[in-house]
Structure 1
Amino acid sequence: MTDILMTTPQFKTNDVALLLAEHYGLVGAISPLPGERDQNFKVEMPSGQRFVLKIINAAEPGVESEFQTALLDHLEKQTLDLPIPYIRRTMSGSSLATIASSSGIRHHLRLMSWVEGTPLAETSRTEGALQSLGRLLGRFDAALKGFMHPGALRDLDWDIRNAGRSVARLGHIASSEDRALVERFLDRFSSVSPRLATLRAAVIHNDANDWNVLVDENSPGQVSGLIDFGDALYAPLIAEVAIAGAYAGLDHPDPIGAAAAVVSGFNAEYPLLEEEVDHLFDLIAIRLVTSVTISASRRRHTQDNPYLAVSERAAWDLLRKLDQMNPRFATAILRKACGFDAAPGARAVASWIAKHRTDLAPLLERPVASYPAALVPYGDPGHPMTRMSAAEQPNQAQAVWDAICQANGAELGVGPWGEERSVYAGEMFVSRFIEKTRRTRHLGLDLFMAAGTKVFTPLAATVVSVEIETEPLGYGCLIALRHEPEACPPFVTLWGHLAHEAMNRLKAGDRLKAGELVGEMGSPSENGGWAPHLHLQISTDPALAATEILGVGEARYLDVWSELFPDARTFAGLATEFYTRNGRSPDEIIELRRELLLPNLSISYDRPIKFVRGDGVWLIDDGGRAYLDCFNNVCHIGHTHPAVVEAMAKQAGTLNTNTRYLHDNIVAYAERLTETLPKDLTVVGFVNSGSEANSLALRMMRAHTGRENAIVLDWSYHGTTQELIEISPYKFRRKGGTGPKSHVHIAPVPDGYRAPETWREEEYGTRFAESVRDLLAIMKSNGENPGFFIAESIPSVAGQVVLPEGYLREVYELVREAGGVCIADEVQVGFGRVGSHWWGFETQGVVPDIVTMGKPIGDGHPMGATVTKREIAESFNNGMEYFNTFGGNPVSCAVGLAVLDVIERDKLRDNAVAIGKYLIDGFGDLQARYEVIGDVRGLGLFLGIELVTDRATKTPATRFAHAVCNGARRRGVLLGTEGPFDNVLKMRPPMIFSKGNADHLISVLDETFADVTRTLA
C-alpha cells in the first residue's frame, strides 16, 4: 500500500499538455480529475471533443495495464454500444505510451474517449437511475463472458475476497464503537468468505462507485456511462452487484431499496442465482468495511488526496444503518427484487396452505368462518378508535369491540393483514430500512373474542418457543410453532397475546397434533394491555426467532412482507369473501325476486342468506360466513368438487352435443351406472332432472301396462310437472292443491314411530303393507287394476322415514300379482347415501322394475336418469321416438362418471356408514338429555330427528323444530324441516362429511336445543 502511494504520478498540467502533443498529436485544455492510485486529466479540444488522459501508477504491473487494454479492446469488438470510454491510440498505433517522471519513475499513459454525464454521487439517485445502472452492469458483465487475461488475476485490497484484510486496519479506527461495528460485519464475513469460492466468477468492473457512474443530465432516470476500469479483476460475479449496491445506498433514505433497484436491473440483463443474492447483504456491508478501513489507514494523506475520503462519512452512516437491520429481512427485499421468493419456498408454503385449506383443523372450537364476524376498525380513519391517543386505543378496544358485537350480532372480531394502523406509535415501530418512516402495516391476523377463548393449531407442530413479553403494547405470552407438513417447506406460526397459563403447559420441543390446544386469549393484564385477541402470523422463514418476526411492516415493502409473512386468513379458516362484498345486497335481491320471479318461489329461513361460493361441505355467504351444509343433498360429494369441475370443463371445452351423434361418454356412463344396480336393470334413459326421470318412468309404465292407476304413499313428492303433482300428496293435499285424482290411490306412510301401539315392531312391514292390499282390493272391486306403485326408498318429505323391514318386498309382490309396475324413486336417497348399498331399495331386498335418479347424480350439475328392465324398454319402443335435447350429452355423462369415480375412489359409502352411525349415536345422546326429541332415525347420511312436545302422545313440536332450524342457521349450520307436521329435522349432508363436521353439527344442535328450550319454556 505504501509503495502504491510512493509511485503515484505527480505530473503538472503543463507537462501533461506536452505529453498529449508528443504521443497523440493533440492540443487541448487540460484539467485534473480525482483519482486514488493514478493521475487523471480531462482534455478538451477546440472542436469540442473531449478525452480522459490517465497516467498509471508506476507500481501497477505491466501485465495489469495490458489487461485493461485487452479488456477495452474486447468490449469495443463486441459492438454492443456500451456507454464506456474507448482507447484512443498513440500516433504510433499503440494502446499505451511509456513516459518517465522527473525522478525517473516510468509510467504508462492511456488516452480514452470522454463519456458524458453527471456523476451519480451528485444526483438524487432515483430508482430509475439505479435500475438503469444495474442493467448497464449486467450488459457489461455479459459482454465479458468468456474473456480472460493474466492481468485479471491480480492481488488487490479492493477484491471482495480480500475484505478480511480489514482486520489488520482496525487499529487505524479511533472510535471503539466504530471498531466494534466493523468487527461485527467482519465476524459475519468470516462465515461468508469460504463460500465465495463456490460462486460464479468472471472479469468484472469492480468499482461502480457513485463517482464512476454517470447519469444523463437530460434524463435523470437513465445512466449514461460507466468509467474507470482501474480496479477491474477476476472475482465473484455477485461482487459487481454488491459494490454498486453499496455505493447506491450512500446518503439514500432507503439504502436497501436502492440496492434492490440495482439488483433488479442487473438481474434483468444477467440473471443472478439465489445463492448469490443470499450473500448480497453481507457483501454490500463488507465493501463498505473495506472502504472505511482503507480510508482510516490513509488518513494522513487525505488532505493531499480528497478522493480517498470522499465517501467515508456516508459509508460510516450506511454501515450504522445496516447494523440496525435484520439481514434476513434485507435479503428478502433483495431476493424479491430478482423475482425470487422473499424466503426460499415462501410461495410454496402459501400455495400448500391454500391447497390443503379443507384439511386443516379448526383454530377455534368451531371453524373460524362459521362464526358471525365483523371487522375491528383499527384502520378506519373515521372511526372513534382512531381518534384516541396511542395510549388510549388498546384500553378502549374492548369497549369498541363490544359495541361492534352488539351492532352486528358478531361473535368474532377480525383485524386484517396489511391494515394501516395509527396505533403503532411507539419508538419500536420506527423503520430500520427507510429514514423518517414508521412501520404501520399490520402483518398478522387478529381474532378478537373473550379472554379465555381457546385456540388450537390447525396443523401438527413442534413448539419452538414459549416466552413472555412484559413491555406495554407487547405480545404478552408469545408462542412459536414449527410446521413441517409433507411436500411443503417448513414454516413457523406465531401466536401472540395469549394467557400466561401456556408457560406451565408447553415447552420448546413439545409436539402438538393438529387440533391440539395452543393456548387461551389473554386478558389485558397479561396480553400487553390490549383487548383480548389472538395475533396469528405465519413466517415462511423458519430461521427467524419469535421475537424477530415483524408484526408490523413498512407499506413500501408490503409485497415482500406478504411473502415472508403471508396473510394467515386461510390458515385460520377465514373465507376471502369476509373482506369484500360483490353484487346486490340480499334486500335488493329479495325485492327484485318479488318483481321478476314467480311469487310462489320460496326462500329458506327467517333471514334469507345470499350464498356466493360452495366449498366441500360448506356454503359461504356474501359476508364470508361459512355454513355447514347438512341439507342440500344435490352436492353429493361436496360443493364444487375438483374432479367434477375438471371433468365438466374439459369436456365442455372439447364438445357438447346430443344423442343423435355417437360419443363414448354416453355408453361408458350407462355401463358404469348399470354396474351399480341389480343385474335385471340394464337399460338407461338419460334426462335432466329427477322430475324428468319420474315423468319418463310413467311413460314407460303406460307403454308397458296400458294403465293409469297409481298407488302412492301419503305425503310423498315425485316432481314438478303436472302429472307428477297429481301423484304427490305432499303437493295436492296442501294449500293450492286440488286433492287426489280418481286414478290416484294413497297408502299411509309406513312410519314405525307413529305405528299403532298394539303393533309389534317386527310386524310393521306386514301391517303397513296391508293398506296396499286393501287399495288393490278396492280397485279390483271397481273392475280396475293398478298401473304402478311408486315410493321413495326412504320417504323424505314425509319425515326421513326408514321403511319397516320387509315392507317393499310384500308391496312389490302384491302390485306385481295385480299386473302393476314397481318404481323406486331414488332421486334423493340414491348413489350410496345409505352407505350399506348403492341404492336405498336394496336395503329392503327388492329389485324394482324402474329406478329413477336425479339430484345427487351430478353433484350439482343438472342431470337425471331412468333405468329399467329390458322387457319394459321393449314395450316403450312402440314406434314413437324418444329424444331429449340435453339428456345424455357428453358433458353430463363426463360429470356422472366423475361422481362415480369419486364415490368409489374415496370409499364414500364406507364413510356414510361410519359417520352416519356416529351421528345417530350423537343424536341419541341428545335425545337422552332433551325431552323434545321423540325419535332419531336414518340410514347412512340420510337422517332425521322428530320433535314432539310430549313423548307419550307424540304431539308434534312444529314451533320448536322451526326455532331449532333457525337457531342452527344463526350458528352456521343448515338444516331443513319436513314431515306432515313439519316437525322433523332433515339432514342430508355431503358424502364427504367428516367426524369433525359431525362433532360440529352435534355441538350446534346441543347448543341450539338448550337455547330454544330456555326460550320456549
Structure 2
Amino acid sequence: MNDMLKTTPDFSIDQASALLTDHYGLSGTLSLLASERDQNFKVEAADGATYILKVVNAAEPEIESDFQTALLSHVATFAGELPVPHIAPTLAGTSLAETTSQHGVRHRLRLVSWVSGLPLAETGRSAAALQSLGRMLGRFDASLKGFMHPGALRDLDWDIRNAGRSADRLAHISDPEDRALLERFLTRFTQSVAPRLATLRSAVIHNDANDWNVLVDKSDHDRISGLIDFGDALYAPVIAEVAIAAAYAGLDHPDPMGATAAIARGYHAEYPLLEEEVDLLFDLIAMRLVTSVTISASRRAHTADNPYLAISEKPAWTLLRKLDRMNRRFAIAILRKACGFEAAPGTRGVTAWIAENRKTLAPLLERPAATYPAALVPYGDPNHPMTVNSSGEQPDEAQAIWEDHCREHGIALGIGPWGEARTVYAGEMFVSRLVENTRRTRHLGLDLFMAAGTKVFTPIAATVVSVEVEQDPLGYGCLIALRHEPEGCPPFVSLWGHMAHEAMGRIKAGDRLEAGALVGEMGAPKENGGWAPHLHLQLSVDTSLSATEILGVGEPQYLDVWAELFPDARTFAGIAEEFYKKSGRAHDEIVKLRKELLLPNLSISYDKPIKFVRGEGVWLIDDSGRAYLDCFNNVCHIGHAHPAVVEAMAKQAATLNTNTRYLHDNIVAYAERLTATLPKELTVAGFVNSGSEANSLALRLMRAHTGRENAITLDWSYHGTTQELIDISPYKFRRKGGKGPKPHVHVAAVPDSYRAPADWPAEEHGKRFAESVAEQIAVMQAKGEGPGFFIAESIPSVAGQVFLPEGYLKEVYRLVREAGGVCIADEVQVGFGRVGSHWWAFETQGVVPDIVTMGKPIGDGHPLAAVVTTRDVTDSFNNGMEYFNTFGGNPVSCAVGLAVLDVIEGQDLRGNALAVGNYLISSFKAMQARYEVIGDVRGMGLFLGIELVTDRKTKAPATEFARAVSNGARQRGVLMGTEGPHDNVLKMRPPMIFSKRDADHLLAVLEETFADVKRKLG
C-alpha cells in the first residue's frame, strides 16, 4: 500500500457515525461526499441541523489544520454574515478532534456547519451569478485583511507563484502541439509575469474558488449562497483569488473573458483591485490552467480511477487553446474596463487631448473635412448597393453607383461611422476569438469615401511605424500606421487603410511627417482590398499593437471597450458632432412657422436656407455637421463663442445683472478702457443695446447740441432700423417700400474712387467728392438753414466696401463744422481694430469726429453698443432730462465688452488683421491678373471687397457673376455677401482671429468658384 493510500482516511459510514457521537454527541444520517485527499460526510443530524464531518488526511501537517481552524474562526468573528462553514466545537470544547484508523494512522476531525446551495458547476453560470461570486470573494478576502497564520505560508504547487513548476511536468504531455502550447504560456510567465508577482500585494486567500466550491441559491441561481472547502487557502497575491475563480468559471463558457470580467467587476466593488494586478489577470488565469493540466497529467498513471482529478482536464485544454488564440492585449483591455480602469493606459488622455486641440489640427483632406457636403454610407443596410454581397464580394458597379448618388445629391464626402453594425463582414477573418459562435460586426474605424486618388494628410506630426500591403480579399490593401507623440498627450497610433500602393515607394518606417504632410491617396478597388475607394481611419491608444493587430471590426458585446482602445477618429479627422445627430425642427417646418409667426418681411439668406446650430471661432456649423468658413458675419468680431467672452458672460450673469441706477465697477471700468482707445477729445460714453440705438442716441445728442434736424448722409448708406434712421438711410428709403428722402435729409454722393470721373486726378478725389457735401450745405443755406450733422460709415459698407479717398473726411468735417453742424462717425461695422492699422477706421483719415457710434463687433455677438462723444456735446445733452436705458451698460454687457478688449489687445488681433488682410489683398490682386471680371480689389485689414465687372473700361457691373460666386462659395462652405448699388461687390468681413490657413482656404474656394462660374457664364 503506497503512502498516499495509508494517509488517506477510509472510514465506513457506521464508523463515521460513531465518531460523530463520540466526539460531538450528535446522531443522524450520514452520506459520503466526493473528495481528493480527505474524507467528507454530510451529516443530517437528528436535531434538524446539517453539518459536514471532515476526516483530515493524515499527511496534512497539524499546522495546516490549525490554520484552517484559525481562518474560519477569524471570519466568524469579523464577517459572521458570510455564508461559509462555521466550526462546531467538540464535546470537550475544542475545534478539532482526533481518532485512529484501523491501520493505526492518526487522523484529525472537524465538524462544520452545512452551507446550503447548489454547486455553481450545475447551473448556467450567468453573468449575474459570476459577478455575485466576485463580490463574495471580495468580501471574504476583505474580512481576512490583517489575518496571518504560520500555516498560510506553506509550499503548494497550487500556489500561483509556483506555476512555473509546471515546466517540470511537461514530460507527461505526450502531444507535441499541446506541449508547445504550454511552453508558450510558461515562457511568458517566467519572463514577464513571475518577476512582477513579488511586487504585488499579498494576503490570505481562499485559493480554490472552483465552481464546485461555490454554491448558488437553489431558487435564485444568480445569487451566490456559499463558499466552501478551505483546504487550499494560503498566503498569496490577492489577484490570484480572481484568477483562480475565473479559470474555473471560464471552462466550457462561450465567453471566458466576459465571465472573468463579471467576477473581476464584482470583486473590485468589494475589494478594489490595482491596475498592475488586473494587467496580470489574463496570464494568471492561463497559468492556473497550465498547473491544472500538468498536475493531472503527472498523476494520471496511478489515479486513473479517480474521476475527481480529471473532471476539468478536457475543458481546461479547450480554454487554454482559446486563450492562446486571443490577443492578450484585448483581453486585458476588457478586464481593465470591467474594473473601471482605462482600457489601456492613456486612453482618456488621448481622447481629451484631441478634443482640446481639435481647432489646431491640420485638415485631413485638402480642405477641412467638415466643410464638404457629406452623407452617411449605410453599410449597415444590407440592401444598400455599396454593401458587400453574401459571397463576400462588393459589386463591381459599387463605385459608379456611389458616384452617381453623390452627383445627384450634391455629396462630396461619404462617411462610414465608428461603431456601425454591419452585415458585410462575411469572411472567416471576422469570426470572434473572444466569444464562441459570434462574428465581429461593429466597425471600429471611420470610413471617408471619396474618389480614388484623393490625397489624405496627417492632422498632427507623426513617425511612420509601418507601410505594408495586406493581400487578403476584403482586407486593407495598402496599410499605413503612424505614431503620434504630441506634447502633453500619451502616444497613440493612427491606422490608414485601403490606400493606394504609391505610398510603398514614397514613405517607409522611421520617416518623420510634419502636421499637414501627405500620408497617401485613397486606393482604387484593385489595390485597396476590393472595396469602393475610401479611407479606413482608425486610432489605437495601445501603441504595442502592430498595424495588422489593430482590430478594425469588433464584437458588439465589447463595444464599450473598443471605444476606449480604438476611439472614434471623427474629431481627429475633423468631422463635426452635428453630422451624427440632428436636433430641432426640420428646415421646411421652420420656414413655414416663420411665415406664420414672424414679420413677413424678415428675410432669409440663400434660396436653400441654412440652419446653423453652432458657431466656433471662424466657423459656423449647420444641423448636418457641415462647417462654413464665416467671412461675412462681422458681429462675432473675435470669433464665434469665444471662450473668454463666454466665461465673462457666464461668470457675471451668475453673480449679478442689474441696471445703471446702481453702482457697479464694470460700467466705469469699461468706459475707461473703451475711451482710452479713442482720440483724447472723445471722453464720454453712453451704453445701449444695438447699433441702431447708438445712432438714435447720437441724433439726440446732435439735436441737443445744435438745435437742428438737417442731415447730410451718403448715398446708399444704412444706419439702423428705427424710423428716424431709415429716414437718413438711402439704402432703405430709395429702394422698394421706401418713400424717398424727407425734406431735412440731404444726400451726398458716395465717394467711390473706383467710379470717379476719369478726368479727376487721383490725388483730388477726396476734395472733388467733398464738393457734393458742399452742394448740400449750400442748398440748406439758401433756405436760411444749416446742417445739423453729417453722418457716414468710416468705410461705407452697404455701398460696396467703399474706401474713402485720402483727405475726404478732413474736407467734409471742415465744411460741416464751419456751417455749424457736428460730424458723426458710424463705426458700427468697421470699428474695434478691424482695419488693422488703427482701432477706428476714421483714424485712417486723420480726423476726430464729434460723436462716434459703435455696435456689432463690440460684444462679439452679445447685444451691446455705445456712443462716445466730447465733453462739449455731453454738456449740451445734460439739459435736465434724465437719460436711462434699462439694459444699456448692465454689468453682464460690460463684462463682455471688457473681455473683447482683453482679447483684441492680448492677442494682438489688430496686428493679425493687418497681416492677414494684406496677404488676402495681394492674393486677390493676383487673381485680378487672371480674371478680367475682377475690376477692383479694395480692403484694409479684414474689411475687404472685390468688385466684379463685365468690362474693365466701362465698369459695367457683373451682378450675375457676383451672385454666382457668392452662391458657389456657399456651396463650397464659405460665407460671403454681395453689396453695392448693383450687388456686384463681393463683401468679406471675417473674424479678427482669421489665420493665414483660413485665408488660404478662402482663396482656394474663390479660385475654384471663379473658374467654375467662368465656365458656366462665359
Superposition TM-score, scaled by structure 2 size: 0.98
Q: Can you list the C-alpha shifts for 1:97-119, whole angstroms capped at 9, x where unaligned? A: 12222223222211111111111
* Cα distance in 2 between the residues matched to 1:899 and 1:700: 27
* Cα distance in 1 between the residues matched to 2:666 and 2:76: 67
The answer for the alignment partner of 1:256 in structure 2 is 257
Please say if 1:148 is aligned against 2:148.
Answer: yes
The answer for the alignment partner of 2:341 in structure 1 is 340
The answer for the alignment partner of 2:735 in structure 1 is 734
Letter in 1 for 2:565: L
Q: Which moved more, 1:550-559 or 1:856-865?
A: 856-865
* Cα distance in 2 between the residues matched to 1:406 and 1:40: 80
Q: SS at 2:1011's partner residue?
A: helix
Alignment of 1:511-910 (within 5 A): 511-910=512-911
Residue 766 of structure 1 and its aligned partner are, at CA, apart by 2.1
The answer for the alignment partner of 1:1011 in structure 2 is 1012
The answer for the alignment partner of 1:49 in structure 2 is 49
Query: 1:201–1:236: 8 Å Cα contact kept in structure 2?
Result: yes
Letter in 2 for 1:286: M
Residue 769 of structure 1 and its aligned partner are, at CA, apart by 2.0
Q: Can you list the C-alpha shifts for 1:619-673, whole angstroms capped at 9, x where unaligned? A: 1112111111110001111111122222222222222211112222222222222
Residue 5 of structure 1 and its aligned partner are, at CA, apart by 6.8
Q: Can you list the C-alpha shifts for 1:268-308, whole angstroms capped at 9, x where unaligned? A: 11111111111111111111111111111111244443221
* Cα distance change, pair 5–342 in 1 and its aligned pair in 2 (3 A): farther
Give the number of equivalent residue pairs.
Answer: 1016
The answer for the alignment partner of 2:360 in structure 1 is 359
* Cα distance in 2 between the residues matched to 1:89 and 1:394: 79
* Cα distance in 1 between the residues matched to 2:841 and 2:303: 97
* Cα distance change, pair 9–735 in 1 and its aligned pair in 2 (3 A): same
* Cα distance change, pair 370–347 in 1 and its aligned pair in 2 (3 A): same
Q: SS at 1:465's partner residue?
A: strand
Residue 228 of structure 1 and its aligned partner are, at CA, apart by 0.9
* Cα distance in 2 between the residues matched to 1:295 and 1:815: 110
Gaps of 5+ in 2: none
Letter in 2 for 1:580: K
The answer for the alignment partner of 1:425 in structure 2 is 426
Query: 1:368–1:573: 8 Å Cα contact kept in structure 2?
Result: yes
* Cα distance in 1 between the residues matched to 2:463 and 2:387: 38
Q: SS at 1:419's partner residue?
A: coil
Residue 893 of structure 1 and its aligned partner are, at CA, apart by 1.4
The answer for the alignment partner of 1:228 in structure 2 is 229
* Cα distance change, pair 640–717 in 1 and its aligned pair in 2 (3 A): same
The answer for the alignment partner of 2:493 in structure 1 is 492
Query: 1:394–1:529: 8 Å Cα contact kept in structure 2?
Result: no
Query: 1:169–1:294: 8 Å Cα contact kept in structure 2?
Result: yes
Gaps of 5+ in 1: none
Query: 2:385–2:398: 8 Å Cα contact kept in structure 1?
Result: no
Residue 773 of structure 1 and its aligned partner are, at CA, apart by 2.5
Query: 2:393–2:474: 8 Å Cα contact kept in structure 1?
Result: no
Residue 1011 of structure 1 and its aligned partner are, at CA, apart by 0.7
Residue 536 of structure 1 and its aligned partner are, at CA, apart by 0.3
The answer for the alignment partner of 1:98 in structure 2 is 98
Q: Which 4+ residue blocks in structure 1 deviate beyond 4 angstroms?
A: 2-6, 384-387
The answer for the alignment partner of 2:479 in structure 1 is 478
Residue 332 of structure 1 and its aligned partner are, at CA, apart by 0.6
Residue 394 of structure 1 and its aligned partner are, at CA, apart by 5.4
The answer for the alignment partner of 1:209 in structure 2 is 210
Q: SS at 1:548's partner residue?
A: coil
Q: Can you list the C-alpha shifts for 1:797-837, whole angstroms capped at 9, x where unaligned? A: 11111112222222222222222211111111111111111
Residue 679 of structure 1 and its aligned partner are, at CA, apart by 2.1
The answer for the alignment partner of 1:159 in structure 2 is 159
Residue 761 of structure 1 and its aligned partner are, at CA, apart by 2.2
Q: Which moved more, 1:360-369 or 1:769-778?
A: 769-778
Query: 1:633–1:828: 8 Å Cα contact kept in structure 2?
Result: yes
Residue 468 of structure 1 and its aligned partner are, at CA, apart by 0.6
Alignment of 1:45-84 (within 5 A): 45-84=45-84
* Cα distance change, pair 6–494 in 1 and its aligned pair in 2 (3 A): farther
Please say if 1:411 is aligned against 2:412.
Answer: yes
Query: 1:861–1:895: 8 Å Cα contact kept in structure 2?
Result: yes
Letter in 1 for 2:506: R
Residue 384 of structure 1 and its aligned partner are, at CA, apart by 4.8
* Cα distance in 1 between the residues matched to 2:5 and 2:170: 20
Query: 1:789–1:820: 8 Å Cα contact kept in structure 2?
Result: yes
* Cα distance in 2 between the residues matched to 1:80 and 1:406: 74
* Cα distance in 2 between the residues matched to 1:524 and 1:105: 80
Cα root mean square deviation, aligned: 1.5
Q: Can you list the C-alpha shifts for 1:884-938, whole angstroms capped at 9, x where unaligned? A: 1111112111211221122222221111111111111111111111110011111
* Cα distance in 2 between the residues matched to 1:848 and 1:97: 111
Residue 6 of structure 1 and its aligned partner are, at CA, apart by 5.7
* Cα distance in 2 between the residues matched to 1:995 and 1:943: 15
Q: SS at 1:594's partner residue?
A: helix
Q: Which moved more, 1:579-588 or 1:166-175?
A: 579-588
Residue 96 of structure 1 and its aligned partner are, at CA, apart by 1.2
Letter in 2 for 1:504: G
Q: SS at 2:582's partner residue?
A: coil
Residue 264 of structure 1 and its aligned partner are, at CA, apart by 0.5
Residue 713 of structure 1 and its aligned partner are, at CA, apart by 1.2
Letter in 2 for 1:812: Y
Q: Which moved more, 1:8-17 or 1:361-370?
A: 8-17
Q: Can you list the C-alpha shifts for 1:171-203, whole angstroms capped at 9, x where unaligned? A: 111211111111111111111111111111111
* Cα distance change, pair 882–80 in 1 and its aligned pair in 2 (3 A): farther
* Cα distance in 2 between the residues matched to 1:451 and 1:386: 18
* Cα distance in 2 between the residues matched to 1:667 and 1:3: 100
Query: 1:141–1:203: 8 Å Cα contact kept in structure 2?
Result: yes
Q: SS at 1:228's partner residue?
A: coil
Residue 762 of structure 1 and its aligned partner are, at CA, apart by 2.4
* Cα distance change, pair 781–50 in 1 and its aligned pair in 2 (3 A): same
Query: 1:153–1:233: 8 Å Cα contact kept in structure 2?
Result: yes
Letter in 2 for 1:904: E
Q: SS at 1:704's partner residue?
A: helix
Q: Can you list the C-alpha shifts for 1:464-489, whole angstroms capped at 9, x where unaligned? A: 11111111111011000111111111
Please say if 1:188 is aligned against 2:206.
Answer: no
Q: Can you list the C-alpha shifts for 1:720-770, whole angstroms capped at 9, x where unaligned? A: 000001111111111111111111121211111111222222222222222
Q: Can you list the C-alpha shifts for 1:431-457, whole angstroms capped at 9, x where unaligned? A: 011110000111111111111000001
Residue 387 of structure 1 and its aligned partner are, at CA, apart by 8.3
* Cα distance in 1 between the residues matched to 2:37 and 2:815: 114
Residue 59 of structure 1 and its aligned partner are, at CA, apart by 2.4
Letter in 2 for 1:640: A
